[in-house]
Amino acid sequence: MSEKFEFDQEELEILRDFEHGEFAGVANFRAEKQRLESVARETLKKNRRINIRISSRDLTFLKKQAARDGMPYQTLISSTLHKFVTGKLKAVE
């Protein structure tokens, strides 16, 4: 069976680079994979607690939005802060 794939620009660049030998193997792949998995787990770990003051009006809005999204309001706040600090959410000026 012959399957035809359509690639986006980034995928085409990766394929081209692979075909030109631009990629190198990773020495001790299993150890490197375990190291990177550990780094990822630590990055995503929620290990700090903060206390903030917020207006009742804003908190009510956040709780309503979280309910609409089907998540706890603390998760919504944490997710929004994470998006902001990683550049996925921009401040409105």
pLDDT for position 90: 79
Tokens of 13: 């660049």
Mean residue pLDDT of the chain comes to 88
Distance CA(24)–CA(65), nearest Å, equals 47
Distance CA(69)–CA(79), nearest Å, equals 12
Record the pTM.
0.52
For residue range 36-45, list pLDDT tens digits in order.
Answer: 998 888 877 7
Long-range contacts of 55-59 (CB under 8 A, 24+ apart): none
Q: What is the DSSP letter of 91?
A: P
